[in-house]
Amino acid sequence: MTNIDPTKDPIIKSLIGLSIPMIIESNLQTIFNLVDTFFVSKISYSAIGALVSSSILMMLISAFTIGISIASSIFFTQSYGAKNFKRANTVYSNALIVMIFFSLASMLLYPFLDNILSLLGLKDSTLVFAKEFLSISILGLPISFVFGLNSSTLKSMSLPHKTLLIMLIATIINILLDPLLIFVLKMGVKGAALATIFSMFVGILLQVSVILKTKLRFELHINLPLIKQLLSKSIFASFHLIVRILSMLLIIKIIAIQSQTAISSYSIVTRIYQILLFMIFGISNAAAVIVGQNIGAKNWPFVEEGVKKSILFGSAFIVFLDILLFVFSGIIIKVFTSDKTCFEIAKNAFLYYALSYPFFAAGSIANRITMACGNTFLPSIMNFFSLFLFQLPLAYFLSMHIKLNGIWLSILLANILNFLLNMAILKYNLSKLSINFKFLKMFTGQKSV
């Protein structure tokens, strides 16, 4: 596959060329996770709840480093679009230094696992399984964080086909290792965690081999002003993610008040919907690369066209797949549970998720583009408003009156609100960028490419 240049190629070509491998890679990530869920489900249905609850907690721990990846991609993509490769190298190197430092510091949470898990409302065997999974996952944080940064950087360089191939190899390794470690070596959920970490380690080796063939190089030179900029952007990007993850954890807490079985039902539905979630991430990241590189290249017409076509293309695609998932929801859920109560709760929750995901898709794409424009503050504040000040209070209130249906309804309404807020924020940021481009053209005489 030939490399794509979003600053020169037609928007549709760039969008399709970047988003398709990103979507496929994201689905491989989904398969990666579903494989763990499938094999762990053979242990017990409480192990599924432990796996997903632990995964959400791992996302919370890694929120800061994901924020660094987002901040790095903002500076890196714009530098790469401007063909300033020296600046791009500096951004990548300092982001990697910060990433490794924080991942090592995060391992200090290991002694406090019991206290952390008890706050989630996990009990009995679910608590035991969660602790076993996290005991391995936390020690592998440096590997998972570096794998994530390298993947994000290669995508920013318009090389998603390379990250796709690497993810494919890592997924195959994970599929082979899961049954071996979980059942043959009798490691249980620990085996699932170890298989994941080892697969990512192999992925890092492959990423390095690709990076060495590009102009990107690691420089052991700490640039404090740049690190300050990265941290400034990453704080709000991390806050944005932390708010979403905490809302998921608190939703689990509210669900636990109604039913422990419902935790497993919710876990199954969220795992299944990762098929769409990671597709949305793929489209969003493709849109961010297109918009970010063209901002760096000062190509305003491509910025505008990229925004419009990304949102329309992404939303229409997700709506189509959302309908298919809902039609076959009963069959899919039965793959993960044979418990009748767990199945009925999951089937009911599926309806609300199906209704909410088109709004979630369009809002997420708009959100990612806004961050690519350099604004991580407003998206995080609006996210906090829609989830913490709207969804969670509403979920608790409605659950006291209409039980679990109230929780599912609050998720639907919060996604609609989040969509409206993200579209408004994106429109505001594009207006500011338009003014800046006009002033640049006025005073420098520079024309769009």
Q: Is residue 405 part of a domain?
A: yes
149 in Cβ contact with 205 (< 8 Å): no
Q: Find the mean pLDDT for residues 168-194.
A: 94
Predicted confidence band of residue 360 (pLDDT cuts 50, 70, 90): very high
Q: Is residue 5 part of a domain?
A: no
Q: Find the mean pLDDT for residues 317-346.
A: 91
Q: Is residue 211 part of a domain?
A: yes
Task: Please give the tally of structural domains in the chain.
Answer: 1
Q: What is the pLDDT of residue 435?
A: 66
Q: Is residue 449 part of a domain?
A: no
The CA distance from 44 to 56, in Å, is 19
Burial 265-296 (b: 16+ CB within 10 A, else e): bbbbbbbbbbbbbbbbbbbbbbbbbbbbbbbb
Environment class of 184 (CB within 10 Å of its CB; exposed 0-12, middle 13-18, buried 19+): exposed
Q: Is residue 6 part of a domain?
A: no
Beta-carbon count within 10 A of 424 CB = 12
| φ, ψ at 261 (rounded to 5°) | -65, -35
Which range marks the domain in which residue 110 is found? Answer: 11-444
Environment class of 209 (CB within 10 Å of its CB; exposed 0-12, middle 13-18, buried 19+): exposed
User: Residue 279 pLDDT > 50, yes or no?
Assistant: yes
Q: What is the pLDDT of residue 449?
A: 38
The CA distance from 109 to 118, in Å, is 14
Q: Is residue 259 part of a domain?
A: yes
The CA distance from 424 to 434, in Å, is 16
Q: Find the mean pLDDT for residues 110-117.
A: 83
Predicted confidence band of residue 442 (pLDDT cuts 50, 70, 90): low
User: Residue 32 pLDDT > 80, yes or no?
Assistant: yes
Q: Is residue 1 part of a domain?
A: no
**The residue count for the chain:** 449
- Max Cα-Cα span within the chain: 69
Q: Is residue 4 part of a domain?
A: no
- Listed range (52-66, 74-88, 90-104, 268-282) with the worst mean pLDDT: 52-66
The CA distance from 51 to 63, in Å, is 18
Predicted confidence band of residue 114 (pLDDT cuts 50, 70, 90): confident
Angle, vertex CA 244, rays to CA 14 and CA 58, nearest 5: 90
